């Protein structure tokens, strides 16, 4: 199980990488941590002619608070960095909650935030998190820089809004506010496995009730999916009882999600797990209250 | 020649310096923890070694209409590209049948497929190149045209008259059928107070040894000598196979299995890709290495289990189990495996049913069918988990139907201590089992009443827990009845050569092999105890056909029982030799002397007379100082095969404690207990770890492991990310205790322990899940018990 | 075939080899350097057998190219078995005494991960140990003995405190 042959260049800058991609239009791919790409290449499911390694661009590994109170997370931030960062823990606890579900330590030591988003595996945690948090994806390409809302970034299984020759360089998101709360949960058969169903949620809370919430389910479709009807039911002012809200949200979920059948799990199973997960994650958010 | 009349204490094992029963660490563990193992891929390869890769069939069933290897032959680094027909010119194909399985049929199997492919993953073309990567590059240049044929995948459908035939020359897809009848089962069911029944399904497993199948073959044409380093349990069997199929004198074939990274029964079968690798070496006169990668391991290692069982149990009003009727249908893939066949699993499953219990009426019907899937054959605890899973599920159902506690119900029905020797309705001979002692000990070990109280209390809080039991029996110490009588060149005997070396150390060359069980440690313990030396002074040599006597090696829990007894007999003989020599030197009757901690001592006083080191020095370097005519016999060699019974039986009971999340169907394993009786325990540390590892393989069966195939015969989960093996986070602690009933058919009394954990664990876990689900009126009879199957049983999933 | 000069510090010694870019780190260690203590189990990042330390953190040797490791410090089981690696030594001793290995194929990888664990957390709970090694596949032991051994090593290290 060895990869097909390829050439390899270490990019000296993002622009160098962009130029290399442009010069090798069809055959070049970016590698950073390589924790997904290497597997695909070992399987010969991916056989790029040129690998452009951006892994040494240390400045893409920074986590910074911007002037407008947003958190900017460099694309090369390792999963382990997210786990260890006090800024992440304080300002975006959802990522902290999610990250320990991502594979295992050795993978987290190497895998990068940007890599995970670019790889866009429908069963992985971080794409759903950035959708729940309404983050923005910062991209550098041959035609300059651009910003794509995370909610428009994921377009299919392993497909994103990244164009040919573009490189994801950072993610920006709002820091958590005092009246906000986030929740995360997933069902995976074993510690670190890809989820059968997962949910990243972020909302606002007042007087023990959710007043706004975003629910990003993953492993239920080709991209993470925002369950808008369920979210609406959870914050419906016409329904004062939280239990009743949850019940309606669970019912609405079948309108939001249309999970696929696959050898490991039927659509019906995924839908049922999504309902269970909704109840548990929302219950946990309400129990913990704002600010976490 | 020295006489063997020199006295030997009645039981060498009870000597004061005995290592038997002590938790001695394994001497080979130290190098393994330092990364100094010698697995096949670690062997320094001969100069010019080539690396093999194989193009495998993408279809489950097809005709090969055209093969074009020209581009591959011309690819960089490629030394050889071979098809099945070309391999056949140097290597004779095989058929996986043995005469003692009457009616067993299989088709001719070629190392590489010829004209016809019968499972996805079957090797078709082999490439040998300078690197594995280059060999894989060349594979992508081979063009093969296939004409697809309808695949046979479902075992039931395989027997329908309209089913396509996998091997048309056989006339049907039935490989083997067997009926086992005893008493009058139908009458017993007519008279039954209660009948319980179930349709059980057991998933297909892949053994997933962490070290994949590996072989390094080096053929030297000048002497027609073949050296094969191989990750195998059975170097002697493979020596015979290579000699016969490649037309070489057996003496010219040298097979070496140093460290083996897991085997579990998977590494004793003949695999086409491995044989083709050896054949390529013969063709080229160069070394060729093949290390299966994980993508090819999944569809080409033997698979296991895959049973559908319909079974009924009849119970009298007083709760006595009177009869069982069992129908087992098992799919074994495209061929019966060579040389051990694919009939053994079904044969053992159908005969082990009901084995721990007193029932006398039994009817078992077995059908073994071919499918267009990977070949299925012997894997750890052959047939046991099937028999145990069915029997113990029915026992629980029967207990519930009668209104008895499952442990109490078992006590009423288990064979009692006064029945032995006992012949089971299926013809198995039990020398002496200890069911009731094991049950009693387990009940205390797990504090059963406290767990039931906890279960009731948890229920009041909405926490759903269950407790499950599984009584098991285990076949060990197989004699020639296993394979030899059927015509297989697979020996049931073992050989040992023990030598006092000039240093005073003992060299022990023995035919049982090591795959991590601790074979070498146990053999050292026995040799040290039997001769009377410190264990540090024993060096054990295994896994090399040129350095050890020919023997059965390691499978079916035979290492300790047969290999150990062989070492014991040989050790006593060497000891007698040495005492006689010492007696001559010291001018004393040998029976007044003893060997203890490497010293010849005075029997009566224990006083040291001469060290073994000194005895060795004199014998090797100064034999001129011995009396005229005395020849020092410093080596003893013996062979041993069990003669008293066809094979031995152990027994035990396991219990599992689980928590079921009835909303998600997820199961959390809280605890697991095992009490078992493997006869004499030689090394408690190693025995406990054999059991724990076996239990976790059983848990894999219960919860996780299943090869998923499409209707087209495509393996859908052939990666380690998709085929779920048990990992550390989900596994419970496993508590082990023992009852010891040594077999009286050997002096050592060891029965073997390799299958015990796997035999019963899955049944215990499934029974625990069903115990948890019982208040919900739900019951599962399919393994693995996935969350989805649990939710379906609970009626929570539509469709 | 393109090859690239690749310089990696392996077990404290800088080594330079011409390698194909497609050569991964574990094949480099085994094939170029003969460091066969690091094993290849799955080549897709799941089994953990090829785990080594790179710049002090565990990585999968099958999911990183040798050229990517250029300029890095790599420690394998062979290096960790040399004097001075107190945590690994305690783990190795505990693994032998507790029989926390059978075939031993997974063991070097697990020892590397356990070394990282005890470096970061000198007294992990059984649950944490299980989580830490949850990316390592062992078919032989059932894991219980491995958890025992890591705990035992932690206890020994705590009782004999000294410079790590």
Average pLDDT, consecutive stretches of 10 residues, N- to C-terminus, chain C (164 residues):
93 98 98 98 98 98 98 98 98 98 98 98 98 98 98 97 57
Distance (Å) from the C-alpha of residue A157 to the closest C-alpha of chain C?
19
Q: Is the dihedral of CA B650, B375, B486, B230 positive or negative?
A: negative
* A2·B136 Cβ contact <8 A: yes
Distance, in Å, from the CA atom of A102 to the CA atom of A100, rounded to the nearest integer, reads 5
Within 8 A of A191 by CB-CB distance, chain C residues are: 131, 134
The predicted pLDDT at position C161 comes to 75
Chain mean pLDDT for chain B:
96
DSSP string, B140-166: TT-EEEEEE------HHHHTSTTSPPS
Residues of chain B with CATH 3.30.365.10: 12-37+493-640, 304-480+644-793
* Partner residue opposite B788 with nearest CB, options A3, A194, A269: A269
Token pair belonging to B442: 């387990």
Distance (Å) from the C-alpha of residue B311 to the closest C-alpha of chain A?
28
Q: With beta carbons less than 8 A apart as the criterion, state whether B735 and B433 touch.
A: no
* A107·C60 Cβ contact <8 A: yes
Residue C88 DSSP code: H
Interface test with C, best of B33, B263, B264, B521 (most C CBs within 10 A): B33
Give pLDDT tens digits for B247-273.
999 999 999 999 999 999 999 999 999
The predicted pLDDT at position B7 comes to 37
The predicted pLDDT at position B14 comes to 66
Distance (Å) from the C-alpha of residue B370 to the closest C-alpha of chain C?
28
Domain B304-480+644-793 has CATH 2.40.70.10: no
Distance (Å) from the C-alpha of residue A69 to the closest C-alpha of chain B?
39
SS3 B528: helix
Sheet containing A63-65, strands listed edge to edge, beginning at the edge strand earlier in sequence = A63-65, A70-74, A167-174, A136-141, A144-149
Distance (Å) from the C-alpha of residue A67 to the closest C-alpha of chain B?
42
* B663·A276 Cβ contact <8 A: yes
* A105·C116 Cβ contact <8 A: yes
> How many residues in chain C?
164
The predicted pLDDT at position B234 comes to 97
Residues of chain A with CATH 3.30.390.50: 182-288
**Cβ contacts of B330 within 8 Å, gap of 6 or more:** B155, B305, B306, B307, B308, B345, B346, B349, B366, B367, B368, B369, B376
Give the rounded distance of the alpha carbon of B449 from its chain centre.
35
The predicted pLDDT at position B343 comes to 97
Provide the β-strand partners of residue B541. B509
* Partner residue opposite A272 with nearest CB, options B133, B727, B797: B797
Q: With a cut of 50, say whether residue B603 has pLDDT above it.
A: yes
Name the fold adopted by A61-174: 3.30.465
SS3 B9: coil
Give pLDDT tens digits for B185-222.
999 999 999 999 999 999 999 999 999 999 999 999 99
Chains that touch C (3 or more CB pairs under 8 A): A, B
Give pLDDT tens digits for B282-302.
999 999 999 999 999 999 999
Residues of chain B with CATH 3.90.1170.50: 41-149+208-300
* B692·C144 Cβ contact <8 A: yes
Residues of chain A with CATH 3.30.465.10: 61-174
Number of CB atoms found within 10 A of residue C57's CB: 17
Interface test with C, best of A80, A104, A111, A191 (most C CBs within 10 A): A104
Burial of C157 per CB tally in 10 Å (0-12, 13-18, 19+): buried
Q: Which helix (H) or strand (E) holds B662?
A: none
B92 touches chain A (CB under 8 A): no
DSSP string, B715-781: BS--STTTS----GGGPPPEEEEE-----TTSSS-B---TTHHHHHHHHHHHHHHHHHHGGGT----
* B39·C105 Cβ contact <8 A: yes
- Options 2.40.10.10, 3.40.50.800, 3.30.390.50, 3.20.20.140; CATH for A182-288 is 3.30.390.50
Q: Please report the domains of chain C, with CATH numbers, ordered by start residue.
A: 4-76 (3.10.20.30), 86-159 (1.10.150.120)
For range B133-145, the mean pLDDT: 98
Distance, in Å, from the CA atom of B376 to the CA atom of B340, rounded to the nearest integer, reads 11
* A6·C22 Cβ contact <8 A: yes
Number of CB atoms found within 10 A of residue A53's CB: 21
At the second CATH level, the architecture of A7-52 is: 2-Layer Sandwich (3.30)
Which residue does chain C place closest to A33, by CA atoms?
C64
SS3 A239: coil
**Cβ contacts of A107 within 8 Å, gap of 6 or more:** A35, A79, A192, C45, C60, C63, C135
Within 8 A of C48 by CB-CB distance, chain A residues are: 104, 106
Within 8 A of A189 by CB-CB distance, chain B residues are: 704, 724, 787
Give pLDDT tens digits for A16-39.
999 999 999 879 999 999 999 999
B730 touches chain A (CB under 8 A): yes
* A272·B721 Cβ contact <8 A: no
The predicted pLDDT at position A263 comes to 86
The predicted pLDDT at position A25 comes to 83
* Partner residue opposite B295 with nearest CB, options A1, A4, A266: A1
Chains that touch A (3 or more CB pairs under 8 A): B, C
Provide the β-strand partners of residue A168. A139
A206 touches chain B (CB under 8 A): no
Q: With a cut of 70, say whether residue B414 has pLDDT above it.
A: yes
Q: With beta carbons less than 8 A apart as the criterion, state whether B491 and B536 touch.
A: no
Higher pLDDT, C43 or B1: C43
Give pLDDT tens digits for B438-452.
999 999 999 999 999
The predicted pLDDT at position B371 comes to 98
C126 touches chain B (CB under 8 A): yes
CB half-sphere exposure, A27, CA atoms < 13 A: 9
Interface test with B, best of C20, C61, C66, C139 (most B CBs within 10 A): C139
Domain B12-37+493-640 has CATH 3.40.50.720: no
For range B683-688, the mean pLDDT: 96
Within 8 A of A44 by CB-CB distance, chain B residues are: 136, 140
Q: With beta carbons less than 8 A apart as the criterion, state whether B667 and B703 touch.
A: yes
* B704·A263 Cβ contact <8 A: no
Q: What is the residue-level pLDDT of chain A in tens, covering all 292 positions? A: 999 999 999 999 999 999 999 999 879 999 999 999 999 999 999 999 999 999 999 999 999 999 998 999 999 999 999 999 999 999 999 999 999 999 999 999 999 999 999 999 999 999 999 999 999 999 999 999 999 999 999 999 999 999 989 999 999 999 999 999 999 999 999 999 999 999 999 999 999 999 999 999 999 999 999 999 999 999 999 999 999 999 999 999 999 999 999 888 999 999 999 999 999 999 999 998 877 7
CA-to-CA dists, residue B538 to B517, B534, B544, C103, angstroms: 18, 7, 18, 21
CB half-sphere exposure, B400, CA atoms < 13 A: 17
The torsion angles phi and psi of B503, rounded to 5 degrees, stand at -75, -10
Interface test with C, best of B30, B34, B691 (most C CBs within 10 A): B34
At the second CATH level, the architecture of B41-149+208-300 is: Alpha-Beta Complex (3.90)
Sheet containing A28-31, strands listed edge to edge, beginning at the edge strand earlier in sequence = A7-10, A50-53, A28-31
**Cβ contacts of B659 within 8 Å, gap of 6 or more:** B458, B463, B464, B465, B466, B667, B668, B670, B772
Give pLDDT tens digits for A56-104.
999 999 999 999 989 999 999 999 999 999 999 999 999 999 999 999 9
Distance, in Å, from the CA atom of B264 to the CA atom of B694, rounded to the nearest integer, reads 10
Q: With a cut of 80, say whether residue B731 has pLDDT above it.
A: yes
* Partner residue opposite C21 with nearest CB, options A7, A43, A106: A7
* A38·C131 Cβ contact <8 A: no
Distance, in Å, from the CA atom of C62 to the CA atom of C43, rounded to the nearest integer, reads 5
> How many residues in chain B?
799
* B26·C42 Cβ contact <8 A: no
Which residue does chain C place closest to A194, by CA atoms?
C46
For range B699-705, the mean pLDDT: 98
| Chain C, window 63-122: residues with a beta carbon less than 8 angstroms from a chain B beta carbon | 76-78, 81, 91-92, 95-99, 101-108, 111
- Beta strands B143-148; B62-68: pairing state: antiparallel
SS (H, E, C) B555-610: CCCCHHHHHHHHHHHHHHHHHHHHHHHHHHHHCCCHHHEEEECCEEEECCCCCEEE
Q: With a cut of 60, say whether residue B752 has pLDDT above it.
A: yes
Token pair belonging to A67: 């002037």
pLDDT bin (cut points 50, 70, 90) of residue B644 is: confident
């Amino acid at each position: 199980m060895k990869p097909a042959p390829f050439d390899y260049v270490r990019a000296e800058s993002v622009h160098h990488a962009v130029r290399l991609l442009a010069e090798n239009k069809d055959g070049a791919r970016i590698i950073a941590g390589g924790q997904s790409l290497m597997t695909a290449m070992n399987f010969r499911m991916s056989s790029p002619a040129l690998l452009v390694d951006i892994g040494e661009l240390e400045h893409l590994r920074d986590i910074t608070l911007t002037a407008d109170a947003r958190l900017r997370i460099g694309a090369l931030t390792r999963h382990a960095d997210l786990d260890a960062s006090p800024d992440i823990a304080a300002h975006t606890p959802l990522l902290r909650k999610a990250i320990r579900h991502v594979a295992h330590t050795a993978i987290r030591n190497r895998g990068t935030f940007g890599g995970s988003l670019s790889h866009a595996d429908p069963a992985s945690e971080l794409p759903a998190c950035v959708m729940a948090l309404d983050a923005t994806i910062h991209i550098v390409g041959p035609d300059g820089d651009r910003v794509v809302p995370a909610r428009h970034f994921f377009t299919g299984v392993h497909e994103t809004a990244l164009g040919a020759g573009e490189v994801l360089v950072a993610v920006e998101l709002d820091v958590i506010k005092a009246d906000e709360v986030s929740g995360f949960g997933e069902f995976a058969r074993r510690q670190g496995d890809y989820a059968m169903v997962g949910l990243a949620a972020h909302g606002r809370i007042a007087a023990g009730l959710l007043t706004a919430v975003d629910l990003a389910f993953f492993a239920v479709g080709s991209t993470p999916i925002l369950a808008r009807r369920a979210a609406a039911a959870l914050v419906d002012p016409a329904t004062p009882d939280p239990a009743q809200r949850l019940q309606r949200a669970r019912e609405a979920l079948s309108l939001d999600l249309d999970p696929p059948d696959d050898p490991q799990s039927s659509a019906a199973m995924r839908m049922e797990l999504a309902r269970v997960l909704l109840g548990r994650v929302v219950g946990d958010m309400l129990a913990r209250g704002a600010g976490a | 020649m020295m006489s063997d009349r020199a006295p030997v204490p009645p039981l060498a094992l009870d000597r004061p310096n005995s290592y038997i029963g002590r938790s001695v660490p394994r001497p080979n563990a130290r190098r393994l923890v330092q990364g100094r193992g010698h697995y096949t891929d670690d062997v320094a390869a001969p100069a010019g070694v080539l690396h093999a890769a194989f193009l495998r069939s993408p279809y489950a069933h097809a005709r090969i209409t055209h093969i074009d290897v020209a581009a591959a032959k011309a690819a960089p680094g490629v030394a050889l590209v071979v098809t099945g027909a070309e391999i056949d010119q140097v290597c004779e194909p095989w058929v996986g049948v043995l005469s003692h399985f009457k009616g067993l049929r299989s088709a001719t199997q070629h190392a590489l497929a010829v004209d016809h492919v019968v499972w996805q993953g079957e090797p078709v073309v082999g490439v040998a190149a300078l690197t594995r990567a280059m060999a894989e590059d060349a594979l992508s240049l081979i063009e093969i045209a296939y004409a697809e044929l309808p695949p046979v995948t479902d075992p039931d459908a395989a027997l329908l008259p309209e089913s396509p035939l996998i091997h048309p020359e056989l006339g049907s897809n039935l490989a083997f059928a067997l009926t086992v009848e005893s008493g009058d089962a139908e009458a017993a069911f007519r008279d039954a107070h209660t009948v319980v029944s179930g349709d059980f399904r057991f998933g297909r497993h892949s053994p997933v040894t962490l070290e994949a199948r590996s072989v390094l073959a080096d053929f030297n044409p000048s002497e027609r000598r073949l050296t094969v380093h191989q990750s195998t349990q059975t170097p002697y069997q493979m020596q015979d196979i290579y000699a016969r199929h490649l037309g070489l004198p057996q003496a010219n074939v040298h097979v070496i299995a140093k460290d083996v990274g897991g085997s579990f029964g998977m590494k004793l079968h003949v695999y086409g890709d491995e044989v083709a690798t050896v054949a390529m070496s013969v063709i080229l006169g160069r070394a060729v290495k093949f290390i299966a990668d994980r993508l090819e391991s999944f569809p080409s290692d033997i698979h296991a289990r895959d049973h559908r069982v319909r079974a009924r149990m009849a119970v009298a009003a007083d709760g006595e189990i009177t009869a069982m009727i069992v129908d087992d249908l098992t799919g074994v893939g495209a061929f019966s495996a060579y040389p051990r066949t694919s009939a053994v699993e079904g044969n053992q499953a159908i005969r082990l049913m009901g084995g721990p219990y007193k029932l006398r009426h039994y009817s078992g019907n077995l059908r073994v069918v071919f499918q267009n899937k990977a070949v299925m054959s012997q894997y750890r605890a052959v047939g046991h988990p099937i028999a145990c899973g069915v029997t113990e599920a029915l026992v629980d159902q029967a207990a519930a139907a009668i209104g008895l506690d499952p442990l109490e119900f078992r006590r009423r029905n288990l064979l009692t201590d006064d029945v032995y020797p006992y012949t089971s309705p299926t013809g198995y001979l039990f020398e002496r089992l200890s069911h009731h002692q094991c049950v009693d000990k387990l009940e205390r070990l797990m504090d059963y009443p406290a767990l039931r109280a906890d279960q009731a209390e948890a229920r009041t809080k909405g926490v759903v827990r269950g407790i499950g039991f599984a009584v098991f029996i285990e076949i060990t110490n197989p004699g020639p009845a296993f394979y030899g009588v059927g015509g297989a060149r697979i020996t049931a005997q073992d050989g040992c050569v023990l030598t006092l070396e000039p240093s005073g150390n003992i060299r022990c060359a023995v035919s049982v092999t090591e795959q991590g069980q601790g074979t070498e440690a146990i053999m050292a313990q026995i040799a040290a105890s039997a001769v009377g030396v410190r264990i540090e002074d024993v060096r054990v040599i295994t896994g090399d056909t040129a350095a050890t006597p020919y023997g059965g090696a390691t499978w079916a829990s035979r290492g300790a029982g047969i290999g150990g007894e062989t070492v014991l007999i040989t050790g006593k003989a060497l000891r007698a030799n040495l005492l006689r020599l010492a007696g001559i030197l010291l001018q004393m009757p040998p029976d007044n002397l003893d060997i203890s901690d490497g010293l010849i001592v005075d029997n009566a006083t224990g006083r040291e007379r001469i060290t073994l080191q000194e005895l060795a020095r004199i014998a090797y370097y100064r034999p001129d100082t011995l009396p005229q005519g005395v020849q020092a016999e410093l080596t003893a060699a013996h062979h041993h095969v069990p003669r008293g019974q066809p094979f031995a039986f152990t027994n035990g009971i396991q219990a599992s404690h689980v928590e079921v999340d009835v909303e998600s169907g997820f199961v959390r394993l809280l605890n697991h207990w095992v009490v078992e009786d493997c006869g004499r325990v030689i090394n408690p540390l190693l025995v406990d770890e054999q059991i724990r590892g076996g239990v976790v393989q059983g848990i894999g069966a219960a919860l996780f492991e299943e090869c998923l195939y499409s209707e087209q015969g495509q393996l859908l989960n052939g990666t380690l990310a998709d085929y779920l093996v048990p990992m550390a986070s989900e596994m419970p602690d496993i508590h082990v205790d023992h009852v010891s009933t040594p077999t009286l058919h050997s002096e050592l009394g060891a029965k073997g322990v390799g299958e015990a954990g796997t035999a019963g664990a899955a049944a215990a876990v499934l029974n625990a899940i069903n115990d948890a689900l019982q208040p919900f009126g739900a019951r599962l009879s399919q393994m693995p018990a996935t969350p989805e199957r649990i939710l379906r049983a609970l009626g929570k999933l539509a469709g | 075939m393109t090859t690239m000069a690749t310089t990696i510090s392996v077990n404290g010694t800088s080594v330079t080899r011409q390698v194909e870019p497609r050569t991964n780190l574990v094949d480099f260690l085994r094939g170029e350097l003969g460091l066969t203590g690091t094993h290849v189990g799955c080549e897709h990042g799941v089994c953990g057998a090829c785990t080594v330390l790179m710049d002090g953190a565990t990585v999968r040797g099958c999911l990183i190219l040798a050229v990517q490791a250029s300029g890095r410090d790599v420690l394998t089981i062979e290096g960790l078995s040399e004097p001075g690696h107190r945590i690994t030594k305690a783990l190795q001793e505990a693994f032998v005494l507790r029989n926390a290995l059978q075939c031993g194929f997974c063991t070097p990888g697990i020892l590397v991960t356990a070394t990282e664990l005890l470096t970061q957390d000198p007294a992990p709970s059984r649950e944490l140990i299980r989580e830490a090694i949850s990316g390592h596949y062992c078919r032989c032991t059932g894991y219980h003995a491995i958890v025992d051994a890591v705990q035992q090593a932690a206890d020994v290290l705590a009782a004999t405190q000294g410079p790590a």
